Amino acid sequence: MHLFQTQHIKLYNTLSGQKEAFKPINEGHVGMYVCGPTVYSNVHLGNVRTFMSFDMVFRYLKHLGYKVRFVRNITDAGHLENDADAGEDRIAKKARLEEIEPMEVVQRYTVDFHNILNKFNFLPPSIEPTATGHIIEQIEIIKTILDKGLAYEVNGSVYFDVLKYNETKQYGILSKRNVEDLIHNTRELDGQSDKKNPQDFALWKKAEPQHIMRWPSPWSDGFPGWHLECTAMSTKYLGDHFDIHGGGMDLKFPHHECEIAQGEACNDASPVNYWMHANMLIMNGKKMAKSTGNFILPNEIFSGDNPHITKAYAPSVARFFMLQAHYRSILDFTNNGLLASEKGFYRLMDAINIMDELKSSESSSITILDWKQSCYDAMNDDFNSPILIANLFEGVKFINQIKEGNASLTHDDLEIFKATMNAFVFDILGLVNVTKVETSTDKLSGAVELLIQIRQQARANKDFALSDKIRDELAEVGIQLQDGKEGTTFSTN
């Protein structure tokens, strides 16, 4: 018996524009592909948000008992800064500026990407393929599309024929555009002479002599088009037809539209059942993007070294902040928002830290199974993590009420409650209990317990000067004393 047999997910499918019941192609199995980063510079927080959304999806699917194959690629092939026929690719440009090999650029920022994701407590994907490792597969796909007559070769480059494709299929089905509108609204760009139409996109580009990243192909020494790698890697590992494809909202058009076209061209069938798009993280009302300079790096959040924030924040605080918004909503990154999340996060952690001390009762004053189901309902409804978190704060209330003797749970109910809290907070939301790690050092606990005893003695003697000194100076080094009915406890934030 798996949880997915009783917990039914509805998810918003960009393709249909509405929430749909999720039904995997093979029962109990889920194939999910997410477009990964182009590793030409440090991953910024906006990038992280998208990947975090799908990390949460991955975690929840696994929690429900699905066998998930999660593929997230690394784009390590250079792509041109614009879609014109000429231009430098980003990785090559970075390599030139830093006087290193393109593959050194790729290596450096791949390592950075992994480091950052580890700090945010991401689960690794099942497969993390690279574009340059799949050149042969991409060439094979181009051959197929050429054979179908939906692409053409010009001067060693191969382009997808969007108008031809649109005669029998629908280009724009995902982003709700039609080709006529696209034609009317295309900006004039220099150097597009090789294309029959501006809407056509490159499958293969002939490399200029100075272009370092290049591979042989039947058409020229060159490199694959950007959209092709995802088609190659997704279908290789998940099949021609798979369950979920995710990515940032900004990839919807043209990237994902082109992926659909390529998949349809090869197999006469739509490659993906459910398209999921994570919304943008903006900062102070503007898009976070490397190209505009309006962005913050994760390491700057951990160190506090950025003019947009007033202090350092733990990775889990940033994670909690982002999960407090729904993945399909735009989220504005602000210092005030982060401060509010930080307080809430530590309140949640403080409650969890005393969960094991709760005593069970003869009867339950809370219908814990209803509460548990409401947690699942939240996640089942298009992965609504903000609602889930609201329910978890309901759980915080339960913990404190039980501790104060204002609520009760039977032994069995208490076990269910604790297991549910832990599952959602740590397994599904992927938060890390930073306070627990710090306070679990026995030496520190022993020292603080001693100070608490001395303070108790001082209070008994009405030596409040001493007792307050102990309390205040401990607070200054980040240890809070809490006087409860059953004695004094402490926590560290």
Partner RNA sequence: GGCAUCAUGGCCGAGUGGCUAGGCAGAGGUCUGCAAAACCUUCUACAGCGGUUCGAAUCCGCUUGAUGCCUCCA
Does residue 90 bind RNA (CB under 7 A)? Answer: yes
Regarding 189 and contact with RNA (CB under 7 A), the answer is: yes
Min dist. Cβ of residue 206 to RNA (A): 17
| Residue 375 within binding range of RNA, rule CB under 7 A | no
- Does residue number 336 form part of the binding site for RNA (CB under 7 A)? yes
132 binds RNA (CB under 7 A): no
By the 8 A CB rule, do 31 and 242 touch? yes
Residue 116 tokens read as: 């950052």
**Alpha carbons 140 and 147: distance in angstroms, whole number:** 11
Contact by Cβ (8 Å): 249, 279: yes
Q: What would the x/- binding string for RNA be over residues 264 to 303, using CB under 7 A?
A: --------------x-xxx--xxxxxxx---x--------
Which of 59, 134, 206, 326 is close enough to bind RNA by CB under 7 A? 326
Residue 13, both tokens: 């499918």
Give yes or no for residue 38 binding RNA (CB under 7 A): yes
Shortest Cβ distance from residue 174 to RNA (Å)?
A: 10
Candidates 382, 420, 429, 474; binder of RNA (CB under 7 A) is 382
Q: Which stretch binds RNA (CB under 7 A): 214-222, 419-427, 435-443, 463-471?
A: 463-471
> Under the criterion CB under 7 A, does residue 194 sit at the interface with RNA?
no
Binding of residue 93 to RNA (CB under 7 A): no
Asked if 183 is part of the footprint of RNA (rule: CB under 7 A), the reply reads no
Whole-angstrom Cα distance, residue 145 to residue 74?
24
Cβ neighbors of 136 (< 8 A, separation 6 or more) are none
Asked whether 109 and 100 are in contact (CB, 8 A), the reply is no
* Residue number, 268 or 468, with CB nearest to RNA: 468
Q: Does 187 bind RNA (CB under 7 A)?
A: yes
Q: Which of residues 417-446 bind RNA (CB under 7 A)?
A: none
Contact residue for RNA among 16, 191, 482, 486 (CB under 7 A)? 482
Strand spans (E) along 199-308: 201-206, 222-224, 242-248, 272-278, 281-283, 286-287
Are 145 and 203 in contact by the 8 Å Cβ rule? The answer is: yes
Retrieve residue 144's tokens.
């197929």
Describe the chain by its helix, strand, coil percentages, rounded to 5: 50, 15, 35
Closest contact distance (angstroms) between CB of 419 and RNA is 21
Pairing label, strands 18-21, 272-278: unpaired
Q: Does residue number 42 form part of the binding site for RNA (CB under 7 A)?
A: no
Say if residues 310 and 372 touch (Cβ distance below 8 Å): no
CB of 137 to RNA, least distance (A): 18
Taking the C-alpha atoms of residue 482 and residue 356, their distance in angstroms, rounded to an integer, is: 17
From the list 149-157, 214-222, 321-329, 430-438, the region that binds RNA by CB under 7 A is 321-329
329 sits near RNA (criterion: CB under 7 A) = yes
Instruction: Compute CA 271 distance to the chain's CA centroid, rounded to the nearest angstrom.
Output: 22
Site for RNA in 228-267 (CB under 7 A): 247-255
Neighbouring residues of 56: CB distance < 8 A, sequence distance ≥ 6: 323, 327, 383, 385, 428, 429, 430
Residue 98 makes contact with RNA by CB under 7 A: no
Please, which residue, 412 or 483, has the CB nearer to RNA?
483
CB-nearer residue toward RNA: 53 or 235: 53
Shortest Cβ distance from residue 324 to RNA (Å)?
6
- Specify which residues 287 forms β-bridges with: 282
Q: Which of 16, 27, 81, 304 binds RNA (CB under 7 A)?
A: 81
Hey, how many other C-beta atoms are within 10 angstroms of the C-beta on 259?
A: 26
DSSP assignment of 277-336 equals: EEPPEEETTEE-BTTTTB---HHHHHHT-STT-SS---HHHHHHHHHTS-TTS-EEE-HH
Nearest-approach distance from CB 329 to RNA, in angstroms = 3
Longest dimension (CA), the chain: 93
CB of 344 to RNA, least distance (A): 3
Among 324, 353, 433, 492, binds RNA (CB under 7 A): 324
In this chain, which of 63, 177, 308, 436 binds RNA, going by CB under 7 A? 177
What is the size of the binding site for RNA (CB under 7 A)?
95
Residues 213 to 232: which contact RNA by CB under 7 A?
Answer: 226
User: Which one of 157, 273, 316, 341 is in contact with RNA (CB under 7 A)?
Assistant: 341
The answer to whether 110 contacts RNA (rule: CB under 7 A) is no
Burial (CB count within 10 angstroms: exposed 0-12, middle 13-18, buried 19+), residue 177: middle
CB of residue 268 vs RNA: minimum separation in angstroms?
A: 25
